[in-house]
Amino acid sequence: MTEFTHLDEEGRVRMVDVGEKEDTQRTAVAKGRVRMSEETLSRIMDARIKKGNVLETARIAGIMAAKKTSDLIPMCHPLNITHAQIDFSFDTVNFAVDMEARVSLAGKTGVEMEALTAVSVAGLTIYDMCKSHDKAMEIGRIHLVYKSGGKSGTYTAK
């Protein structure tokens, strides 16, 4: 890329004007992982965390975060998200909870940041719910795996 779209001619930060862009159906999928001790994973799987249902709390937090992304990331546009979903799976070999967020809308700008934010906050919520059992948990591998819509078309991570 030869130009930075969030800078004007004088190098001042600005929000990109998307007013003239066409609405298209847009979807983004992001993934992440929370690694933990075997004991902590077992407690999550068996619903033995004292604070409550870890994954449902993380699911709600992630969806709420997707809706609030423009409040957290300075140059993100406020979006009228039409769908947000977060799913979890267990990796019992590596003692981890894998997270996947899918966000979509019909609009002028993409939802990649919303999907990435959803996964990030879901991971932070898992940490918060389980920190009394395992302060060494690691949140990571957060990345975009798919996006569709808009001028740049479809992207699928390798």
Using CA atoms, how far apart are residues 33 and 100, in angstroms rounded to an integer? 9
The token pair at 69 is 């992304």
In one letter, which amino acid is 134? D
Please identify which residue in the block is written with the tokens 């998307």.
Answer: 18
Sheet arrangement for strand 24-35: 83-91, 96-107, 24-35, 138-148, 155-156
**Active site includes 128?**
yes
Using CA atoms, how far apart are residues 23 and 119, in angstroms rounded to an integer? 25
**Backbone φ, ψ for residue 126 (5° rounding):** -60, -45
**Of 17, 46, 87, 128, which is the active-site residue?**
128
In one letter, which amino acid is 65? A
Catalytic residues: 128
